[in-house]
Chain A
């Protein structure tokens, strides 16, 4: 079962930062948080992952709270191509991904 909860939908103005929250209050100490996104009828695309430190790559930043019970994905300058469903996933001990319902992000011109 998914160990994450996310808001079902969010809007963001083009050019602005998109901040997508995720709760994972039952996460265990050695479980990583992964973020993927899925554009309609395509396979999910990897964005970023982390354990406890904040992470940044060319696509996004990941902020994980100190207690690790929640995290936020930040897309610094959202574009129309960032419109997608964003999934926050806790990778369990067996390495499986159990997807939650995700957040449908719509970037508005």
Chain B
């Protein structure tokens, strides 16, 4: 149980275009979803926290107009990288939590974004 999927698993896009990444909880309802970014040989960096039906809370230094997060249902959150540039190339990982009280986060397999 507690499986999180991401789509696509990898994507290549041209500079200036937008890319949408989906994160789904397959067998549970996720009250909270989190988005992380990971550069090569670095740790995961939390980008934002989103609760279903609410606006996402972004971490300091993360541009909310560039990284649009939508959490429209208890099983789906999307991250849209707008006007992507090569420096946005990274591994994007989502996670989901069942309880508002916290607990484990279940991580997706990640999406590799390459901006050319």
Residues of A whose CB lies within 8 Å of any CB of B are 2, 32, 34, 36, 38, 41-46, 49, 87, 91, 94-102
The one of A42, A46, A94, A97 that contacts B110, using a Cβ cutoff of 8 Å: A42
Are B107 and A43 in contact, CB atoms less than 8 angstroms apart? yes
Taking CB as reference atom, which chain A residue is nearest B106?
Answer: A46
Interface residue SS majority, chain A: loop
- Find chain B residues with CB under 8 A from A49 CB: 104
Residues of B near A95 (CB, < 8 A) are: 32, 49, 97, 100-103
What is the chain A residue whose CB lies nearest that of B91? Answer: A41
Interface, chain B (partner A; CB < 8 A): 4, 6, 32, 34, 36, 43-46, 49, 91, 93, 95, 97, 100-110, 112
- Majority DSSP secondary structure for residues of B touching A: strand
Task: Return the 4 tightest CB-CB contacts between A and B, nearest first.
Answer: A43-B107, A95-B102, A99-B44, A99-B43
Give the residues in chain A near B101, CB-CB below 8 Å. Answer: 95
Q: A96-B34, A97-B34, A100-B43 are in contact. Are A42 and B49 (CB under 8 A)?
A: no
